[in-house]
Homo-oligomer: A and B are copies of this chain.
Amino acid sequence: MTPKMTESELNAFLVRVFAQVADQFHVEKVGSNTATLRLRVDNSHIRPGGTISGPSMFSLADVAMYVATLAMIGPKALAVTTNCSIDFMRKPNADKDLIAHAVIHKLGRSLSVGNVLVYSEGSEKPVASANLTYAIPPQGSAADVDA
C-alpha cells in the first residue's frame, strides 16, 4: 500500500500540530508501513555522562510511529499512543543525531501496532527498541484534520 502523504506533507503537518517541538524532528523517508525520522540533537537532549536523555529517545520513537501511521491513513491529529514498551540498550552518542526506523506490523481500523528501532546516526547498533500502539480516531470524527 502506497503512503497517502509525502515526506514534505508530513513535515508540514508536524509543524502545524506540534508547534513547540516540530523543529526537533524531521521526516526523512516514508514507505509502505515504514517511516524514518531524525531527531536533531541539541543541548536540551543531553544528560550527565555525555548521553542523550531517555525521554528524547522515547519522543522520537513515539513520533516515528505516529508518522508511519499518518502516512498510511492520512492526517489525523488526534491519533494517540495507548502503549509503549521501550528497551534502552546502549548509550547514544551525544555528538550525533538520532535516527528512528518505524515499521507497522498491524494497521487496523482502530489500532496501529509496530516497532521502532533508534540509532545514533552512522551506527548499525540500535540504542533503543520500542513497541508502540496507537489508537486511531473513527472516520469522520472531529479528530480528522484537513491536511
Contact = CB atoms under 8 A, between A and B. Distances in A.
Interface of A: 17-18, 20, 43-44, 46-49, 54-55, 58-59, 62, 77-78, 80-91, 105-106, 110-111, 113, 115, 117, 125-126, 129, 131, 133
Given A55-B59, A81-B88, A84-B86, A115 B113 contact: no
B62 A55 contact: yes
Contacts of A113: 87, 89, 129
A89 B106 contact: yes
A84 B83 contact: no
Contact of A125 (B17, B43, B86, B106): B106
A99 to B, nearest CB: 15
Given A87-B131, A133-B83, A17 B55 contact: no
Given A115-B115, A129-B115, A133-B82, A48 B77 contact: yes
Given A44-B20, A129-B113, A106 B90 contact: yes
